[in-house]
Amino acid sequence: MMKKTPLLCLFFLACSFLAFAQERTITGKISEESNKSPIPGATITVKGGKKTVTADANGAFTIAVPQGKLSLIITSIGFGTKEVAVGAETGTVEVLLSVDNKQLGEVVVTALGITRQSKTLVYAAQSVPAGQLTGVRATDNFLGSLSGKAANIQFVQGSGGLGSGATLILRGNRSIAPASGGNSGNPNNALIVVDGVPINNTTFTTGNNDFGSVQSSDGASDINPDDIESMTILRGASAANLYGSQAGNGVIVISTKKGHKGRTDVTVNSGIGFEKPFALPQFQNTYGQGNTGLIAADSSLSGASWGAKMSGQSYTNFLYIKDTYSPQPDNVKDFFKTGLSLNNSVGVSVGGDKTQNYFSYTNNYAKGIIPGNDMNRHIFTYRVISDFSKKFTLDAKATYILQVINGKPRTGEENSPVFDVYQMPRSVSSATAKNNYQTLNTFGIAAPANWPSTNNSIYQSPYWMTNNTFIGESRERAIGFASLRYNITPWLNIRGSVNLDRTSDEIQQKYQQGTLLWNTNAGGSFAVTDVTLTNKWYDLILEGHNNITPALKIGYHAGAIYYDRLYNQNNASTNGLNVANKFSMNFASNPATTQDGAEILTESVFGQANISWRDAIFLDASFREDWSSTLPRPYTYNYPSVGLSALLNELTTLPQAISLLKVSGNFALVGNGGIPFVTKSSYQFDQGAGNGSIQRSLTYPIPNLKPEQVKSYEFGVEARFLQDRIGFTATYYHSNDHNELVPIPLPVATGYATQYINAGNIENHGVEITVNGSPIKTKTFSWDFSLNFSLNRNKVIELSPNLQTFFLGGADNRTAQPEVKVGGSFGDLYGYVWSKNAKGQHQVQADGTPLTTKNITGSDLSYLGNSNARELMGLTNTFQYKRFNLSFLIDGRLGGIILSGTEMNLSFSGVTKNTLPFREGGLSLGGVDATGAAVAKTITAQQFWQTASNQRYGVGEFFTYSATNFRMREFSLGYDIPLPNTNIIKSLRFSAVARNLFWIYRGSSVLDIPGIGKRKMWMDPDMANGNGLFQGVEYGALPSTRTLGFNLKANF
Amino acid sequence: MNMNRINKFHLLLLGSLILFSLSCTKNYDEVNTNKNSIATIGPSTLPFLFSHAEALSTVNNANYQIAQNLFADQYAQYFACEATYFGSDRLVINQAWVGANFNPYYTDVLPQLQTIFQNTDSASAEHAMAEVVWVLTFMKATDYWGPIPYFNAGAVAVSVPYDAQDKIYADFFHRLDGAIAVLKTHAGGNAYGSYDLIYGGAVDKWRKFANTLRLRLAMRVSKVDPATAKTEAEASVADGVMTSSPDDDGFVKRSSTGGDINGLSTMSDWNEFRMSATMASVLKGYQDPRIAQYFLPTAKSADPTPGKFANYQGLRNGLSVAQLTLSANLAAANSHQGQRWSSTGVTVGGTIVGSASYTNTPQNVIETAEAYFLRAEGALLGWNMGGTAQTLYESGIKNSMAQWGITDATAVSNYISSPNKPIAPGDYLNSPAVSDVPIAWSSDPAVQLQQIMTQKWLALYPDGMEAWADWRRSHVMKLYPAANSDNQLIPDPSTKWLRRIPFLLTERQNNAAGVKTGEAALGGTDNELTPLWWDKN
């Protein structure tokens, strides 16, 4: 019980604040004037008296006052001060406060659904207005809408088409924890909390290497932005500490809509968007299919475009048909469809006095840019809040999501349709390719037709892939909670809630007979995977606040959480079907089934207190103790946080121009219980080897597993000037991730491949700055801007004495190898390079081709760069002129590299633009031989690019680009359609929106190849093969898209 | 409301919360146990461990390409590489891949065998058979690298020392001698039953297998330790090696179930390797009927009938990237591995020639023909091998033919007496015949040894792992020098050749201290040119 002392102290502290006078009692409710939503934390004072109380989270207050008429003074940060006259007999008052823009005082939802005024926070919190999430939408994953809108967000979209998982990282990477419990997504993903509870945001499969994979949806992609009422980004561990283990990565806190008292609202939103590929490789349109400058004698054998100059010659094409040898500049573009997204939602809010209801239905229907890829998602939400007695309030919500995604393209190099289409010879027309991808046998079964592949064991016609293979994902998800709150006294309440988040996915993969790589037996191959994730979260929280003196106030929370995560997976697959292309397990010729599953139980108790003095100095402290089933006995660990902030403008007299000046600092620890099943050894069964076989697990158990710990501190300053017309925040943060659970390789001769150890110290530190302002504000015209800037520096300070380098995925050295190395940074990429001698001169071989380190057996991989941005920034400008609203977002990043495996491989085939110069020879690289003597020999483009590329296993340096870029991320032009006051429709807004409009700046290739020069980056570094830890390399990733859309929003 | 009430109420509440949390950790151990695995091994599960060890000791499908095909199979010149991007055929060792011939032996075979050793009587057939699999396994590893972690393998430590190859071979003989003695006491018995993927548990066959393996190892050390070689070889023959194909042949079962596919079949549709020019020169020159089993006519041939020599084509090992992109060297222009390893997607002249059951093709481990060729070579060395070099040589050919299903006695005897020699393979480089060694037994002892080694090379197909080790050991049979070398250590492949695989980079990273002991035990620089202990060429 000793460890519980902080909790008990809090409790006794709370109890000692009780003080009552025997006077009459007035109760009241304080709400915002415009939307009637409650304002928590307002201060209520009796005019001329000393008594002060604070409104609770629902805006309710009770105050004991003397008999007789009097006035109450109500003040709240961000709202005007209001004086309310109270009659002698009145027992209740309703107070409406209007927003005072001068104070710009935000109320934010922080950890565990606790609402706080932003000025009282001791840590950085940034809100993103809900309107910014529903205007210009990111089609694949709603998290994409956050890019550039808040500081220090690095967003990467996994490349599996509609509904794909994504990665959103706040304040840099810190964890190299391996995939576990059905999640192969990035362990550095921010935690997403909806209505007080972390939601399941796992990714079942993703491309954690450059061969490719099926990219699953994540949990965040099903969030309906139309249901969001507010979103707060808590970047630091201090802010997130109460969420426990996953909070070290920062938290995105989302509160969803609810009904409001005495109001009936209907909102209808309807949007349509059109999408086109935004960043395609650049192709050459001069030379056609062939080799060494000649049209091949047999065009069906190889698809390289190192042939003759295309001038409409007659030749025999890959189908052995006479054809014209002429440029087909659009044969890649033609493959892509214009994506379409339809978004229709209706939200109804009906608020009675005691019960408020909110219902919404949203339908997202989208067709992707890859033929056959579509998604249909239905989201139903119902929420009810009911004060069913004076003391009890029920808040319950149910969300049901039904989502079907068809025709998901594989991501990566192998069998991804985009990678297949990119390789089409430059002389093959879209029509020829599209109409001749298959032949039917006498039974009507398709077989692949001749195809001019650049590697006929892997690359197939893209039209075969989109027509004769199928990957589908269907998801059912139910999220619900019921929370009951009991007001013990006006200043103390207890609430208990039960939360359930259950996601059920079925992933089907069908590959018709004849599909390369995926079916080696007759009939085709078929796999069905069912994954179920169930999160159960029960909590009980005691919440209270007291004014010890008018100047000294305290708010506190104490509670317990029971959190159970259960994951189950069933796979059935068959390589071979007895009836060709009959995709049912009943027809399986080699059926195989496997099961997987894991459970993690975490139980916690926590306490938190925030003390304010004169509404100017704020002290926050929290403590949490967890018991995690993943740990050895006694399973427990704990972590505190403490923070302090001061409003200097309240404490001293500052020049008039300064309307607010706040300084803050905090320190926090966050623990993480690690992954299941690593404390004990086990034996696995395999279906193969006759009767099946059993082997000991390759992982040496870690019986003394310790929790991972993120230690962080931050300092911030916030200032507002000229009556809040302009303001800024600046935050410095520093975090160290200790005791990470790292799977280190053991010498295999021990009989084990890996051992988990607690090791390491990965440090992130950086600065975040936001500036907001309203330079112009007149009755008819206003201009607001919001700028954010962040920089993050990451350093791997320590791993373990036995581990100096940790390899993250992609270990085949085909493109680049991400290595976490002591002294380096997370995201460092290593690969083969163009060899240099001691003098720094590039070396070439006797035939004039570059000598690469790939040619030297056992040569170490060289440092290519780091894939993470060094600085991130975003600038939103909003202009309002009468009924017109124009807004645009420019965002960008500085630093970091991206390596294009796509370009590497395509360069081997001569289809890309970079392979155009020196086709007929004469390229002198100006390099030296082993003795340092200049080599005069010239080479052809084909010799050069085929050496640099080596096709599938290349020399990464040649295809590495600076990922620095700026773009017009979002653009929106809205018009509020004038309506007569009597109209049933209260407001009606039409807007035209666009996303990824154009590049403002793009980086270039890192190598300046003599004679060829630097090339501009063509790919979008925000589009990655997957959303796991393997980042910085794109290899067959889908092109990102440009969206143009229209939106109509009506309020009734 | 009074303060006492609140106090008590909340103390009670908080207290119960904490107790609730504490008491609920009772089931934590159960929660944290993987329901889809087992925690302990007992007698009923032990045979499954043997199956796993056998499946992995014989290079399974997941490892086959990078353990064997890209290295030994190409260096034995069974196949030449079609893919431009691997580089191993141009003598560059990719040290990230070749670990597939190392790591699984320690992580997949060793733990299961050591568990069997601990849980069985050392006088049992189960124990003895596990000993044989142990030797088979670590032979593959030491014959790539020389020194390997051996005597201390299986102990958990931050590093595991390497041991010298002579010590390892001594232990191989020790273990085999012991195992053979134990198996003798179980004559006619059965161990592991259907869990034994090679002989269905037949102890007598395992004894022949163990003797043949011992004979193979004896021949391996014949130059460096002739005395031991003679003793062990004669003991093996006396105790009984394999004598009759296909009855005695050691094949490991493979199947699609659980993805335990034949490794060569797995690569059927990858089109990354084709028949080597060396194979083309010998098989076409000898008019060897096994060509129809080993390879397919080129995809472009109009005639899918097997055995028409003109329709087979091979390419030289070590072609450059530029050469490989030329039409004569494309996969479609050269011979695919044979029908039994070919999927139904493989066509010749548009006709499907693959086999529907190709994934289940049993995989060669040790076959009878090899025993005869080893004995023939032993006879040339003057060892008592129970026959003359010529009769043993000819029996080797007959058994190899029988193994591949060629049972026409006349055809086989005509072959044995044929004066045919290898021919120019007609490849892109216009290579000459690889050698002038005829089939018919020569009177010249120098030619006789070449004949034995050439026929043994043919018979070992597709086991490039053994063929490459045997070639490095004997260095008798002629192979083409690699057409190009990208390896800086081998500027001229006609004068220098790969002798071994350098120690793994992963071992340098994860077992640095161990590798240091390996370098000392190697007795030379850790590169491709340092010969192994038994390589005296």
User: Nearest 5 degrees, angle CA A414-CA A415-CA A416?
Assistant: 95
Q: Give strand pairing partners of B373.
A: none
Contact call for residues A542 and A559 (beta carbons, < 8 A): yes
User: Residue A880 half-sphere exposure, CB side, CA atoms within 13 Å?
Assistant: 13
Mean pLDDT over all residues of chain B? 92
Yes or no, beta carbons of A635 and B28 under 8 Å apart: yes
Structure tokens at A545: 């606040």
CA distance B222 to B234: 12
Query: Which pLDDT does position B11 carry in this prediction?
Result: 56
Q: Which of A824-833, B88-97, B217-226 has the highest mean pLDDT?
A: B217-226
Query: Which pLDDT does position A9 carry in this prediction?
Result: 38
Yes or no, beta carbons of A599 and B31 under 8 Å apart: yes
Q: Using CB atoms, which residue from A301, A520, A858 is nearest to B502?
A: A858
Residue from B36, B64, B156, B511 to probe the interface with A (highest A Cβ count within 10 Å)? B36
Structure tokens at B203: 């102890």
Q: What is the pLDDT of residues A429-485, one digit of tens each?
A: 999 999 999 999 888 899 899 899 888 888 999 999 999 999 999 999 999 999 999
Q: Does A820 touch chain B (CB under 8 A)?
A: no
**Alpha carbon of A295: minimum distance to chain B alpha carbons (Å):** 11
Contact call for residues B105 and B160 (beta carbons, < 8 A): no
Yes or no, beta carbons of A298 and B321 under 8 Å apart: no
Closest chain B residue to the Cα of A560, Cα to Cα: B17
CA distance A648 to B263: 73
Yes or no, beta carbons of A689 and B265 under 8 Å apart: no
The distance in angstroms from the start CA to the end CA of chain A is: 56
Q: Which residue has the tokens 């190099």?
A: A413
Q: Using CB atoms, which residue from A520, A560, A598 is nearest to B20?
A: A560
CA distance A621 to A626: 17
Q: Does A645 touch chain B (CB under 8 A)?
A: no
Please tell me the total number of residues recorded for chain A in this structure: 1052
Q: Using CB atoms, which residue from B41, B271, B321 is nearest to A683?
A: B41
Q: What is the 3-state secondary structure (H, E, C) of B434-489?
A: CCCCCCCCCCCHHHHHHHHHHHHHHHHCCCHHHHHHHHHHHCCCCCCCCCCCCCCC
Closest chain B residue to the Cα of A520, Cα to Cα: B343
Show the DSSP H helices in A4-99 as ranges: 5-16
Q: Does residue A187 have a cis bond before it (omega within 30 degrees)?
A: no
Closest chain B residue to the Cα of A513, Cα to Cα: B345
Q: What is the pLDDT of residues B402-454, one digit of tens each?
A: 999 999 999 999 999 999 999 999 999 999 999 999 999 999 988 999 999 99
Write out the DSSP string of B47-93: HHHHHHHHHHHT--HHHHIIIIITTHHHHTTSEEE--TT--GGGT--
Query: Which pLDDT does position A644 carry in this prediction?
Result: 94
User: Residue A1043 half-sphere exposure, CB side, CA atoms within 13 Å?
Assistant: 29
Yes or no, beta carbons of A694 and B194 under 8 Å apart: no
Structure tokens at A970: 């979002």
Yes or no, beta carbons of B160 and A750 under 8 Å apart: yes
Query: Which of A188, A249, A25, A97 has its CA nearest to residue A826?
Result: A188
Q: Using CB atoms, which residue from A1, A492, A813 is nearest to B96?
A: A813
Helix (H, G, I), strand (E, B) or coil at A768: strand
Helix (H, G, I), strand (E, B) or coil at B167: helix
Residues of chain B positioned with their CB less than 8 A from the CB of A514? 345
Query: Which pLDDT does position B484 carry in this prediction?
Result: 92
Query: Which pLDDT does position A811 carry in this prediction?
Result: 56
Neighbours of A92 (CB within 10 A): 12
Estimate to the nearest angstrom the gap between the alpha carbon of A832 and the chain centroid.
Answer: 31
Q: Using CB atoms, which residue from A4, A676, A805 is nearest to B32?
A: A676
Residue B291 confidence class, pLDDT cut points 50, 70, 90: very high
3-state DSSP: chain B helix, strand, coil percent, rounded to 5? 50, 5, 45
Contact call for residues A623 and A670 (beta carbons, < 8 A): no
Query: Which of A351, A262, A358, A352 has its CA nearest to residue A33?
Result: A262
Closest chain A residue to the Cα of B60, Cα to Cα: A689
Helix (H, G, I), strand (E, B) or coil at B337: strand
Count contacts between A and B (CB, < 8 Å). Answer: 307
Q: Within the 303-332 window of chain A, which residues sit less than 8 Å (CB to CB) from chain B?
A: 304, 306
Contacts for A896 with CB less than 8 Å, ≥ 6 apart? A827, A865, A866, A867, A868, A869, A870, A962, A963, A964, A1021, A1032
Helix (H, G, I), strand (E, B) or coil at A992: strand
Q: Does A850 touch chain B (CB under 8 A)?
A: no
Is 90 exceeded by the pLDDT of residue B473? yes
Query: Which of A522, A216, A748, A731 has its CA nearest to residue B505?
Result: A748
Query: Which pLDDT does position A83 carry in this prediction?
Result: 78
Q: Which residue has the tokens 């490095």?
A: B472
Helix (H, G, I), strand (E, B) or coil at B390: helix
Regions of chain A with pLDDT less than 50: 1-22, 101-104
Q: Does A694 touch chain B (CB under 8 A)?
A: yes
pTM metric for this prediction: 0.85
Yes or no, beta carbons of A693 and B272 under 8 Å apart: no
Helix (H, G, I), strand (E, B) or coil at B129: helix
Neighbours of A1015 (CB within 10 A): 19
CA distance B56 to A866: 38
**Alpha carbon of A267: minimum distance to chain B alpha carbons (Å):** 42
Q: Which residue has the tokens 């990824």?
A: A996
Residue A36 DSSP code:
-
Q: Which residue has the tokens 């018919």?
A: B440
Q: Using CB atoms, which residue from A692, A750, A908 is nearest to B156?
A: A750
Q: Which of A23-27, B232-236, B347-351 has the highest mean pLDDT?
A: B232-236
Estimate to the nearest angstrom the gap between the alpha carbon of B246 and the chain centroid.
Answer: 19
CA max distance for chain B: 117
Residues of chain A positioned with their CB less than 8 A from the CB of B48? 685, 691-694
Query: Which of A394, A442, A435 has its CA nearest to residue A259?
Result: A394
